[in-house]
């Protein structure tokens, strides 16, 4: 029996980018103590008050089918939060609750692209992006955002890619950015908006890290002139409230798009568990101070990282302005990111992600997730920098 071409070619015939992570987990399974700086998983668990709300909801009987678009209370809360942050009028009719941000990315691209269309995205990118685009039958085309330009994508490059691919229907952006930690400037966002308008593109804006801002200001491109009707925003409880395993996110989009996305959800996910939605609604009402507390460890570890980097001159970085990651330039060692990451894992049992897992623009880099306690993180980061210096001395 033959599998579909779509399912058998999701990775484009290459790696899915997670090889080193899988190798590190394999070492851990054999009893080796590996320091993991790989995935964006908080070093705290979901707060017990949120879990208590989830438990009470489930015990109260909210374990059956829920409303496919999401419960009105949660949709209203997401809409109010969005309108308060952006100033763009938003109601529940603009909101679809999804089983996490990844599902929202899939659904939004399903709404934007027909089979055979081109979907544009920025390189460096989160490792699932090209495979997710292929999963809806679209053709992924990346647009480089170079470290020499602080990983800020340029209008000229988006415009050129759109014109070179006349069947391009969408552009996917991510700010604050995973993997680089960059927050797109107003000038960058204006260029993105101009390119979308000039080339009649849907903009899909992945904003799951919007509560983790260290420098500058997060601007949702949906709030820019003439962009609300061509923008779909992806959000999630995973990073803002340390609810990664709960799998609850959303899409914010024009009302007619959400109407069709509800039909899609009816035929695919059939909604999100009611007790999960109730826990998310409770969490959204805890307040901004709680979200700041969830984000604060990454702010501290960013400061620790920059202090360590300032004391050496081999490893370099574009200082992250948001999110829980730092992209380190290790090209001075003469190694690729993949080579460096594997050598570091073998020599010191420290696991980081190769930059090449996130695209060509990140070649010669590694991504460090700032997701272990401060002391262990600082020690591992210093070891990483010392290891890089030792390679240069040779």
Which pLDDT score is estimated for 16?
Answer: 84
At 101-111, the pLDDT tens digits run 999 999 999 99
Q: Are 250 and 78 in contact (CB under 8 A)?
A: yes
- pLDDT bucket at 310, cuts 50 / 70 / 90: very high
Mean confidence (pLDDT) of the chain: 97
| Interval 68-97 mean pLDDT | 98
- pLDDT bucket at 225, cuts 50 / 70 / 90: very high
| Interval 58-74 mean pLDDT | 97
| Interval 219-227 mean pLDDT | 98
pTM, 2 dp: 0.96
- pLDDT bucket at 393, cuts 50 / 70 / 90: low
At 110-130, the pLDDT tens digits run 999 999 999 999 999 999 999
Q: Has residue 394 got a pLDDT over 60?
A: no
**Which domains, ranges and CATH numbers included, belong to the chain?**
5-45+289-393 (3.90.1150.10), 63-286 (3.40.640.10)
| Interval 294-299 mean pLDDT | 98
């Amino acid at each position: 029996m033959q599998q579909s071409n779509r399912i058998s070619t999701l990775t484009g015939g290459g790696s899915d980018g997670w090889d080193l992570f899988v190798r590190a987990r394999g070492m851990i399974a054999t009893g080796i103590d590996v320091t993991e700086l790989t995935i964006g998983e908080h070093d705290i668990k979901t707060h017990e008050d949120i879990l208590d709300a989830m438990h009470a909801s489930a015990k109260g009987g909210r374990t059956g089918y829920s409303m496919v678009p999401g419960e009105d209370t949660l949709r209203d809360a997401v809409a109010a939060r969005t309108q308060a942050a952006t100033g763009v009028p938003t109601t529940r009719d603009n909101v679809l609750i999804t089983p996490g941000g990844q599902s929202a990315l899939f659904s939004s691209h399903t709404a934007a692209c027909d089979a055979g269309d081109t979907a544009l995205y920025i390189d460096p990118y989160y490792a699932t992006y090209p495979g997710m685009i292929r999963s809806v039958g679209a053709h992924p085309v990346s647009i480089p955002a170079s470290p020499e330009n602080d990983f800020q994508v340029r209008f000229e490059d988006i415009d050129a890619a759109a014109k070179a691919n006349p069947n391009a229907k969408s552009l996917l952006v991510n700010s604050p950015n995973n993997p680089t930690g960059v927050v797109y400037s107003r000038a960058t966002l204006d260029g993105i908006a101009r390119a979308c308008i000039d080339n009649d593109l849907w903009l899909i804006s992945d904003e799951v890290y919007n509560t983790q801002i260290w420098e500058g200001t997060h601007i949702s491109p949906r709030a820019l002139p003439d962009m609300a009707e061509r923008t779909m925003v992806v959000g999630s409880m995973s990073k803002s409230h340390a609810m990664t395993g709960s799998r609850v996110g959303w899409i914010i989009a024009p009302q007619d798009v959400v109407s069709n996305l509800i039909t899609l959800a009816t035929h695919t996910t059939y909604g999100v568990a009611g007790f999960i939605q109730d826990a998310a609604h409770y969490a959204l009402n805890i307040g901004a101070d709680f979200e700041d507390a969830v984000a604060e460890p990454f702010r501290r570890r960013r400061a620790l990282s920059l202090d360590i980097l300032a004391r050496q001159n081999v490893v370099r970085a574009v200082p992250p302005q948001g999110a829980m990651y730092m992209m380190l330039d290790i090209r001075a060692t003469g190694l690729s990111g993949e080579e460096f990451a594997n050598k570091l894992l073998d020599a010191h049992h420290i696991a980081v992600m190769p930059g090449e897992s996130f695209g060509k623009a990140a070649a010669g880099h590694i991504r460090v997730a700032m997701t272990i306690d401060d002391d262990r993180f600082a020690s591992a980061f210093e070891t990483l920098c010392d290891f890089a210096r030792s390679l240069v001395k040779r």
